[in-house]
Amino acid sequence: MSNKISIRGGKPLKGEIHISGAKNAALAIIPAAALVKGVCRLENIPNIVDVMIQLDIIRGFGADVRFLNPTTVEIDCTHIGCQHPDYDLMRRLRASYYFIGAMLGRVHKAEVAMPGGCNFGGVRPIDLHMKGFEALGAEVSIKEGGFVCAEARDGLSGKNIFLDVVSVGATMNIMLAAVMAEGQTVIENAAKEPHIVDLANFLNSMGADVMGAGTDIIKIRGVKELHGGTYSIIPDQIEAGTYMAAVTATGGELLIKNIIPRHLECIGVKLEEMGAEIEYFDDSVRVSRYGELHRTNIKTLPYPGFPTDMQPQLAVALCMADGASVITEGVWEARYLYVDELAKMGAAIHVDGKVAVVDGVGKLTGAPVKATDLRAGAAMVIAGLAATGETVIDGIVNIERGYEDIVGKLRAVGADISYVTDNDPVTLKAV
């Protein structure tokens, strides 16, 4: 049983990496399949823990799920309707909340466990989702034991809904509930992330009428029912961005394949400021860094701003730069739990609320560290690749939640990285 990752760092990365399907798109599209009375064939499914949990949850609602090959899955929701899925599974990931919107849309009733997911060190409310469902005509309550119950006895009716905070989850959840509601729903101040467009494209290809996804006004005209079909999920923006940040931190050159260039521009701009060279092709990007790394400032914002899910990875690259950089977290209340772990490797980062000042130290030293959440875990991997000596990362299930075969992909481009077990208490041994 492998439960840690060991990295002997200090080697430049060189070669090609293939990007998997987008986690956050797949996590919304799988519940969306529950709206379809028929078979959805989903291609480019990432093989990651969160997706496997989401597929297990939909099985619990009565779906028939089968893989045709490692990246293609068929979900048949013809006979869906069981109201008692595995609540423990639901608590393991945030995106289980998409089953509220999807089940409300399909059977006008949903009961799900309060969602879990990454703990960034602050609150992660779902009040906007609940207000949206209520606006569409559902009664929503939180029951003892941490359950969210929603029911629309008279069905759902389209409404104008203004989100007072730009929320990815609320935008997609309301979209799911509204697709088969009576009449038109308009979501104003909607989030514009690539996975929102992907969910809308999926729904439209199954017969929905969703317009404006990718802008801040989304219009959804309710349809009677959705039909089955085949859909290919977009590549993962954050996985690609993580490898772009990794090669910027370690030096070297990577050709990152199966990407959508415009999704990566907000990340590439910052890496260029730091000294990386970036060349975009139709569906790939070449990132190289041979010279010095320079300081820069970063503010995370909803798309098309710099993504909060790239903030920890960039912080590591900034540790390797000269001078002081300022990071401002503009999406979450706080997202700096990883800073204490990086300090063990010699990083000098000072946090004050939403702001972190990264004093470039030019080098990091290997140490035992923890992956405190998914992107924090990715940051530890980059730190280990850039550091001198050995880094051993604990809590790697957090990494496996969102990165397909990260060890194999990095080994293929020259990293000295392997899984290790606890079985050898003296020196951790590669298996």
Which of residues 135 and 417 has its CB atom nearest to ligand UD1 in the complex?
135
Which residue stretch of 124-132, 228-236, 251-259, 318-326 sits at the interface with ligand UD1 (rule: CB under 6 A)?
124-132
Q: How far is the CB of 120 from ligand UD1 (least distance, A)?
A: 8
Is residue 337 part of the contact set for ligand UD1 (CB under 6 A)? no
Rounded to whole angstroms, what are the CA distances from 279 to 67, 264, 414? 35, 11, 21
Which of residues 213 and 321 has its CB atom nearest to ligand UD1 in the complex?
213
Catalytic residue check, 40: no
**164-193 positions binding ligand UD1, by CB under 6 A:** 165, 167-170, 191
Is residue 293 part of the contact set for ligand UD1 (CB under 6 A)? no
For residue 328, the tally of other CB atoms under 10 A from its CB is: 15
Which residue stretch of 162-170, 243-251, 365-373, 422-430 sits at the interface with ligand UD1 (rule: CB under 6 A)?
162-170
* Binds ligand UD1 (CB under 6 A): choice among 59, 124, 294, 344: 124
Nearest one of 370, 316, 424 to 9, comparing CA atoms? 316
Nearest one of 45, 5, 414, 401 to 246, comparing CA atoms? 414
Spell out, one character per residue from 63 to 102, where the chain touches ligand UD1: x when CB under 6 A holds, - when not. -------------------------------xx-------
Map tokens 């997609």 to a residue. 172
Is residue 331 part of the contact set for ligand UD1 (CB under 6 A)? yes
264/258 Cα distance (integer angstroms): 12
**26-45 positions binding ligand UD1, by CB under 6 A:** 27
198/63 Cα distance (integer angstroms): 22
110/176 Cα distance (integer angstroms): 13
The letter for the amino acid at 156 is L
Which of residues 161 and 415 has its CB atom nearest to ligand UD1 in the complex?
161
* Helix boundaries (H) for 160-292: 168-178, 194-205, 237-250, 261-274
* Binds ligand UD1 (CB under 6 A): choice among 6, 20, 24, 185: 24
| Coil/strand/helix, residue 307 | coil
Is residue 133 part of the contact set for ligand UD1 (CB under 6 A)? no
Which of residues 59 and 124 has its CB atom nearest to ligand UD1 in the complex?
124
* Binds ligand UD1 (CB under 6 A): choice among 308, 311, 325, 372: 308
Concatenating the DSSP letter of every residue in 111-153 gives EEEPP-----SS----HHHHHHHHHTT-EEEEETTTEEEEE-T
Is residue 4 part of the contact set for ligand UD1 (CB under 6 A)? no
Q: Which of 77, 118, 266, 319 is catalytic?
A: 118
The letter for the amino acid at 312 is P
Is residue 8 part of the contact set for ligand UD1 (CB under 6 A)? no
Exposed/middle/buried for 145, CB within 10 Å: 0-12, 13-18, 19+?
exposed
Which phi and psi angles does 426 have, rounded to 5°?
A: -85, -70
Is residue 354 part of the contact set for ligand UD1 (CB under 6 A)? no
β-pairing verdict for 390-394 and 368-370: parallel
Which residue stretch of 144-152, 161-169, 412-420, 423-431 sits at the interface with ligand UD1 (rule: CB under 6 A)?
161-169
Which of residues 187 and 386 has its CB atom nearest to ligand UD1 in the complex?
187
Q: How far is the CB of 382 from ligand UD1 (least distance, A)?
A: 17
Rounded to whole angstroms, what are the CA distances from 132 to 115, 141, 186? 17, 13, 11
Contact set with ligand UD1 (CB under 6 A): 24, 27, 94-95, 124-129, 165, 167-170, 191, 308-309, 331-332
Which residues are catalytic, by number?
Answer: 118
